[in-house]
Amino acid sequence: MLMGWEVKSLRAGKAQLRDSYVVLKRGEAFLLNAHFSPLLTASTHVTPDPARSRKLLLHRKELNALIGAVQRQGYTLIPLALLWRRNMAKLEFGLAKGKKLFDKRESEKKRDWERERQRMMKK
pLDDT digits (tens, 9 = 90+) for 20-68: 878 888 888 898 887 777 766 666 666 777 777 788 888 999 888 888 8
**With bands split at pLDDT 50, 70 and 90, how would you rate the model's confidence at 116?**
very high
Share of the chain above pLDDT 70, in %: 81
Task: CATH number of the domain at 89, please.
Answer: 2.40.280.10
- State how far the Cα of 60 lies from the Cα of 35, in Å rounded to an integer: 27
Between 4 and 36, whose confidence is greater?
36
Report the pLDDT averaged over residues 12-19.
73
> Is 24 part of a structural domain of the chain?
yes
Q: Which range is least confidently modeled, 34-48, 63-77, 88-102? A: 34-48
Higher pLDDT, 89 or 41: 89
Can you give the three-state secondary structure of the chain, one letter per residue? CCCHHHHHHHHCCCEECCCCEEEEECCEEEEECCEECCCCCCCCCCCCCCCCCEEECCCHHHHHHHHHHHHHHCCEEEEEEEEEECCEEEEEEEEECCCCHHHHHHHHHHHHHHHHHHHHHHC
The number of folded domains in the chain is 1
Q: Is residue 115 situated within a structural domain?
A: no
Which residue, among 23, 34, 28, has the nearest Cα to 77 in the 3D structure? Answer: 23
Which domain covers residue 24, as residue numbers? Answer: 4-98
The reply to whether 78 falls in a domain is yes
How many Cα atoms occupy the beta-carbon half-sphere of 47 within 13 Å? 0
Global pTM reads: 0.63
- What pLDDT score was predicted for residue 112? 92
Domain presence at residue 15: yes
If you average pLDDT over each of 5-9, 19-23, 28-32, 96-100, which comes out highest? 28-32
Residue 123 domain-assigned?
Answer: no
Specify if 65 maps to a domain.
yes
104 part of a folded domain:
no
Is 107 inside any structural domain? no
